[in-house]
């Protein structure tokens, strides 16, 4: 049995200067990494160094600074390919975020391959980013959407998978991990069934890529998307992975510099992958800094990160249950929970909970979390969401519980009035 080193969040926390600041005069307890993680000094320093000492545009200069920037930019592409188990680097396409990556697939491959009466399969817990682009494409192409339902235990109900994923299905677009419940979805049977009927599979890894070991080749994933900002990297950098034989047939999505082979007055020819899908000057500093974020994650170890988050999640659920008067939206299956706990305090609106915790220096996310169809299914307006990462501690959870005790005490006094 492989043993994975136990990470020490207190040691790692020292790399994150923001975690030693205050919010509303109280020490910051940051529990919103599912929205966007904090950044270590290794990433911050990389951005500063690039602009202070190394800035130049890439792919276009024969001088030293341009060549160095190009080398650093492309080395990140190689690191990402290794990080997700891709066969080569040219199938790694840089975008602004996971949302743009999904839209790129929808507006290129989707427009080419989805037609009237075709079916796109999603699940009932999808983030709007993996729902709205398919609404738009389905409306344009007169296609239909079908949904893998949710069980009462906040997992995917695969009991009718054969009926849902039939020969009319052209694409299954499915999140790997819920940003509301923290459930790690069982996607392997879905991928297998999709390929049996000739459909392609897009996996939204926006949440999962920052917490789990990913191997797109072993899992036989056709398209995989994620964002740097949720995994210690900067904002404004996203990734689209696609199988080479699929990406080769993608038409250009945007026209402009760097994506061409030859340009004439009346026509253009286009560059090979990945340049054909990366028009214009990219977020060079962001990509270079993301390279350092990947180095950081690999050094800590994704399995160690996942184990740490599961410990925090289990402890949080236990403490919320002991507190009482709390509804928790999480699966009972501990092995498929990771780093997110959504809950509501009985009789208190989520926004009120968030505001009171804010006064205590505790940052959580409240609302529908860009999952309105799921909220409608659960018949709630939204939830409070605490989400963890490698720098969080059990003390952070204890502060959350103390904050919730204050919430309950305040509303107890209000009710008495």
Model confidence over 185-216: pLDDT tens digits?
999 999 999 999 999 999 999 999 999 999 99
Partners of 29 in the β-ladder: 362
Write down how long the chain is. 417
Structure-token pair, residue 134? 């398919």
Residue 3's pLDDT band, with cuts at 50, 70 and 90, is very low
Residue 175 in contact with residue 121, Cβ under 8 Å? Answer: no
Catalytic entry in 76, 88, 370, 371: 370
Mean pLDDT of 262-267: 95
* Chain centroid offset of residue 389 CA: 13
- Catalytic: 370? yes
* pLDDT at residue number 272: 95
Sign of CA dihedral 288, 284, 90, 250: positive
Structure-token pair, residue 210? 């920052």
Residue 179 in contact with residue 371, Cβ under 8 Å? Answer: yes
Mean pLDDT of 124-130: 97
Q: Which residues contact 124 (CB under 8 A, 6 or more apart)?
A: 147, 148, 149, 150, 373, 374, 377
Please determine, looking at this structure, whether the domain spanning 44-299 carries the CATH number 3.40.640.10: yes
Mean pLDDT of 381-397: 98
Query: What does the alpha-carbon distance between residue 196 and residue 199 come to, in Å, rounded to a whole number?
Result: 8
Mean pLDDT of 313-337: 97
Query: What does the alpha-carbon distance between residue 323 and residue 329 come to, in Å, rounded to a whole number?
Result: 15
pLDDT in tens, 247-259: 999 999 999 999 9
Structure-token pair, residue 199? 């459909």
DSSP letter string, 40-88: -HHHHHHHHHIIIII---SSS--SHHHHHHHHHHHHHHHHHHHHHT-S-
Count the Cβ atoms, other than its own, within 10 Å of residue 405. 11
Radius of gyration of the chain (CA): 22
Residue 415's pLDDT band, with cuts at 50, 70 and 90, is low
Count the Cβ atoms, other than its own, within 10 Å of residue 158. 19
pLDDT in tens, 50-81: 999 999 999 988 999 999 999 999 999 999 99
Which among 326, 306, 332 has a CA at the least distance from the CA of 404?
326
CATH number of 9-39+301-411: 3.90.1150.10
* pLDDT at residue number 4: 59
Mean pLDDT of 16-36: 98
Residue 2's pLDDT band, with cuts at 50, 70 and 90, is very low
Residue 102's pLDDT band, with cuts at 50, 70 and 90, is very high
**209-222 burial, b if ≥16 CB within 10 A, otherwise e?**
bbbbebebeebebb
Across the chain, mean pLDDT equals: 96
Percent of the chain residues topping a pLDDT of 90? 96
Spell out the domain ranges in the chain. Answer: 9-39+301-411, 44-299
Mean pLDDT of 365-389: 97
Evaluate if residue 378 carries a pLDDT over 90: yes
* pLDDT at residue number 60: 81
């Amino acid at each position: 049995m492989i043993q994975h080193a136990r990470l020490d969040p207190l040691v790692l926390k020292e790399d994150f200067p923001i975690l030693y600041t205050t919010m509303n005069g109280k020490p910051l307890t940051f529990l919103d990494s599912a929205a966007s993680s904090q950044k270590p000094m290794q990433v911050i320093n990389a951005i500063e160094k690039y602009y202070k000492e190394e800035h130049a545009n890439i792919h276009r200069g024969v001088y030293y600074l341009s060549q160095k920037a190009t080398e650093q930019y492309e080395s990140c592409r190689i690191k990402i390919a290794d990080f997700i188990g891709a066969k080569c680097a040219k199938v790694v396409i840089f975008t602004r975020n996971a949302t743009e990556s999904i839209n790129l697939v929808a507006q290129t491959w989707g427009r080419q391959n989805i037609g009237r009466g075709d079916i796109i399969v999603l699940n009932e817990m999808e983030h709007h980013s993996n729902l709205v682009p398919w609404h738009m494409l389905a409306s344009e192409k007169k296609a239909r959407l079908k949904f893998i339902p949710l069980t009462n235990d906040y997992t995917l109900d695969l009991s009718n998978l054969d009926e849902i994923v039939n020969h009319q299905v052209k694409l299954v677009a499915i999140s790997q991990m819920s940003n509301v419940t923290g459930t790690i979805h069982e996607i392997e049977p879905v991928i297998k069934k999709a390929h049996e009927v000739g459909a392609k599979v897009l996996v939204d890894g926006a949440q999962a890529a920052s917490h789990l070991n990913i191997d797109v080749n072993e899992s036989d994933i056709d398209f995989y998307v994620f964002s740097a900002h949720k995994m210690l990297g900067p904002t404004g950098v996203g990734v689209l992975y696609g199988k080479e034989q699929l990406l080769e047939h993608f038409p250009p999505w945007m026209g402009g510099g760097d994506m061409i082979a030859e340009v004439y007055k009346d026509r253009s020819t286009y560059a090979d992958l990945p340049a054909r899908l990366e028009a214009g000057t990219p977020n060079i500093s962001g990509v270079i800094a993301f390279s350092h974020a990947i180095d950081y994650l690999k050094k800590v170890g994704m399995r160690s990160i996942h184990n740490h988050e599961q410990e925090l999640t289990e402890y949080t659920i236990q403490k919320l249950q002991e507190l009482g008067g709390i509804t928790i939206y999480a699966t009972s299956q501990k092995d498929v929970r990771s780093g997110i706990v959504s809950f509501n305090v009985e009789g208190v609106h989520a926004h009120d909970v968030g505001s009171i915790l804010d006064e205590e220096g505790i940052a959580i996310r409240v609302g529908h979390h860009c999952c309105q169809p799921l909220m409608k299914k659960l018949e709630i307006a939204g939830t409070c969401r605490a989400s963890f990462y490698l720098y969080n501690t059990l003390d952070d959870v204890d502060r959350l519980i103390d904050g919730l005790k204050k919430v309950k005490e305040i509303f107890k006094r209000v009710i008495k009035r």
